[in-house]
Chains A and B, each alone.
Chain A
Amino acid sequence: MLFPVKAGLLIDRPVGQVHAVDDVTFQLKEGETLGIVGESGCGKTTLIRTLVRLLTPTAGTIRFRDQDITNANRKGLEPIRREMQMVFQDPQASLNPRKRVIQILGGPLRMRGVPRDHIESEARELLGRVGLQPEHMNRFPHEFSGGQRQRIGIARALAVDPRLVLLDEPVSALDVSIQAQVINLLDELQDELHLSYVFVAHDLGVVRHVSDRILVMYLGKLVEVSSAEELYDKPIHPYTSALLAAIPIPDPEENRARERPIVSGEPPNPVSPPSGCRFHPRCSRATEVCRQVEPQLTQYANGHLAACHHPQHVSAEEIAAAARSPTSPLSSGEQAPAAD
């Protein structure tokens, strides 16, 4: 995904380009929850907005249920959007303040083809399902708390009876106790309705709790893909380790006991990303090769993918058995990762 960088006061003139998401390939299985993590500016939000085609990718393809939707027009997208819905981070900003809940839910219900005289009963059922009182359907969004508004956002997404729900930081604006309620609600809905989720968040604790598989992104690149358990037990990429180490554990003794190599610096400007491995300026393991060659996405055992020249938590045999992933970016080098 390319974005032009513009300058000028009255007339914008493009002065550069940002590769917000750069050669990222992955698949989502039916019924799976895929977590996407990374710091601000890593491209995670751009990625899922492109998936629902709120943005059109510069290059590449998006296939949904074997249908190429990369360049589908508005009309072509209509049936897709009935199966693919999005829940946004800020429920305050993503609900129309002038519409009552029944109107907010009515639109997508009509889109699903619910007859006019059934809309109210359907809306009541939806509200009950997300843990709100059906009597509140004539209220406006401002009459609800943040957590309740997020439930309305979830109800709206569910109104068209989708198969896939894309969640962009759905709980990060909420208080901890309310976060737990919403996470539990999402879990329950997935079990009942057999939904697939793409869950974007910067909080690795939350992402691990909900995800089956996790993608870690850094400056527009995929750096690691793994099952949720394995990612936390044996992170291969140093950036993943750094993210994990940065999370404070709510247990004083464990917190004091564990080693926490704090990663220095900040993510660089995506307009001019570093050469080679984009993480090398902040990485303690970086060597000359990291500065020069973009690491290939390498496939290790259990479908664990990582793009690093100096992988951690893998033995020499595992490295020898690993192979370049077919989804490795075209710009990446041919160099196989080295054992320590």
Chain B
Amino acid sequence: MADEPLLKVEDLRVSFTTEEGVVHAVDGVSFTVGAGEVLAIVGESGSGKSVTVMSLMGLTRGPNARFEGRALFEGRDLIAASDAELRKVRGAEIAMVFQDPMSSLDPVYRIGHQIVEQIRAHEPDVSKAQAYDRAAELMERVGIPRAGDRLRSYPHEFSGGMRQRVMIAMALSNSPQLLIADEPTTALDVTIQAQILDELRRLSAETGAGIILVTHDLGVVADIADRIVVMYAGRVVEQGSLDELFYDPQHPYTWGLLGSITRIDRDRTQRLPAIPGLPPSLLTPPEGCHFRPRCPHAFERCIEVPGLEARLPQAPEHIDRCWLEPERKRELRQVGDQIGLASPESVGS
């Protein structure tokens, strides 16, 4: 990993004015991504994970959107950059792969045409023939058999997994330094998901590109990520390395996420230690810690927003937003023989 991170996001805030009020979709998010590193942003619907990455690409700009903070990519601030500047970066230096490959491809153009268009948009000097050769090469690289022939196919002639490979090929066409993948495998079958994750991992290792992976699936995260950012209701609640997050999680929301997964590597439990309640509305978020109303361990102090800071002396990079003492957390998060969120009834004392 290079000394200087590829991307440095500092205190990013995104809010949207709606008829019902102001929605603080992203509320002070900071993280860095290094070259060749895979950063996972984990959270549920409405946590602000997609808005965060889409704002980096300027895809959430609009008359009702407000942005604060900085996102430094190669010395440029993506948040302050003009639309014209961003257009040059987007697709070339930073590329994106979306969840639904069908709605991200144009159904009326052949696949080859779409990849070639992408290549020549950023590199106008490349001739059409050269671009087609490169498109075939890219398709081969992402594991599409008979790549040369398949350039003439239309998107509907591909299966979901193959379309997602095409999207990845397109994203790679201008050798980006940073690849943003928003739930790239959510719409795919498990066997295909495993193939795509393998592909992403290999490509990141080969090209040295950094990857931001947005997902709600902690299994996928454990498979591919180097570092993890956990978001809840617009805020980062915990951030750390893969092992720190899985083996010494500090925020009760992270415990809840870990406990909610049905696992094939463990004996079956009677009931899953699920998180009670629902995520808050971002129009009227709860005061203090946003997770407070659902947290069985909440106490008086949680009415103040906890700072996002390192609370473990041995792990300075592992930061979280929770007032509980780390020692106390180790007791509280143990539910049966696994990490989880205790049910409100069992936390009487």
Contacts of B246 on A, CB cut-off 8 Å? 250-252
Contacts of B219 on A, CB cut-off 8 Å? 205, 247-250
Is A318's beta carbon under 8 Å from chain B? Answer: no
Instruction: Evaluate contact between A247 and B264: CB separation under 8 angstroms.
Output: yes
Instruction: Evaluate contact between B159 and A252: CB separation under 8 angstroms.
Output: no
Instruction: Evaluate contact between A175 and B262: CB separation under 8 angstroms.
Output: no
Instruction: Evaluate contact between B256 and A177: CB separation under 8 angstroms.
Output: yes
Contacts of B191 on A, CB cut-off 8 Å? 39, 242-243, 246, 262-263, 266
Contacts of A319 on B, CB cut-off 8 Å? none
Which A227-258 residues sit within 8 Å CB-CB of chain B?
Answer: 228-229, 232, 242-255
Return B38 CB to nearest CB of chain A, in Å. 12
Return A285 CB to nearest CB of chain B, in Å. 16
In the complex the two chains form, what is the Cα distance from A145 to B189 in whole Å? 25
In the complex the two chains form, what is the Cα distance from A243 to B194 in whole Å? 10
Closest-by-CB residue of B relative to A260 is B194
Contact pattern, B 247-288, Cβ under 8 Å of A = 1, otherwise 0: 100000000111111111100111111111010000000000
In the complex the two chains form, what is the Cα distance from A248 to B161 in whole Å? 17
Which B192-246 residues sit within 8 Å CB-CB of chain A?
Answer: 192-195, 197-198, 216-223, 242-243, 246
Could you tell me how many residues of chain A have their Cβ less than 8 Å away from some Cβ of chain B?
A: 45
Is A147's beta carbon under 8 Å from chain B? Answer: yes
Is A187's beta carbon under 8 Å from chain B? Answer: yes
Q: A175-B44, A249-B219 are in contact. Are A187 and B271 (CB under 8 A)?
A: yes
Instruction: Evaluate contact between A177 and B44: CB separation under 8 angstroms.
Output: yes
Closest-by-CB residue of B relative to A204 is B264
Q: A205-B262, A260-B194 are in contact. Are A248 and B223 (CB under 8 A)?
A: yes
Could you tell me how many residues of chain B have their Cβ less than 8 Å away from some Cβ of chain A?
A: 47
Binds B, one of A8-16, A21-29, A100-108, A178-186: A178-186
Q: Select A204's contact among B162, B190, B268, beta carbons within 8 Å.
A: B190
Closest-by-CB residue of A relative to B159 is A266
Is B45's beta carbon under 8 Å from chain A? Answer: yes
Q: A177-B256, A180-B272, A266-B162 are in contact. Are A246 and B194 (CB under 8 A)?
A: yes
Return A245 CB to nearest CB of chain B, in Å. 7
In the complex the two chains form, what is the Cα distance from A283 to B37 in whole Å? 33
Instruction: Evaluate contact between A209 and B268: CB separation under 8 angstroms.
Output: yes
Instruction: Evaluate contact between B192 and A266: CB separation under 8 angstroms.
Output: yes
Contacts of A245 on B, CB cut-off 8 Å? 194
Closest-by-CB residue of B relative to A175 is B44
Instruction: Evaluate contact between A208 and B222: CB separation under 8 angstroms.
Output: no
Return A51 CB to nearest CB of chain B, in Å. 23
Is A94's beta carbon under 8 Å from chain B? Answer: no
Instruction: Evaluate contact between A250 and B268: CB separation under 8 angstroms.
Output: no
Is A40's beta carbon under 8 Å from chain B? Answer: yes
Q: A180-B259, A180-B275, A266-B159 are in contact. Are A247 and B222 (CB under 8 A)?
A: no
In the complex the two chains form, what is the Cα distance from A176 to B278 in whole Å? 12
Return B294 CB to nearest CB of chain A, in Å. 9
Is A82's beta carbon under 8 Å from chain B? Answer: no
Contacts beyond the supplied A147-B278, A204-B264, A246-B193: 17 A-B pairs with Cβ under 8 Å: A145-B278, A176-B44, A177-B256, A179-B260, A180-B275, A183-B274, A187-B271, A202-B189, A203-B190, A209-B269, A248-B222, A249-B222, A251-B263, A251-B265, A262-B194, A266-B159, A266-B191
Residues of B near any A CB (own CB < 8 A):
44-45, 159-162, 189-195, 197-198, 216-223, 242-243, 246-247, 256-265, 268-276, 278
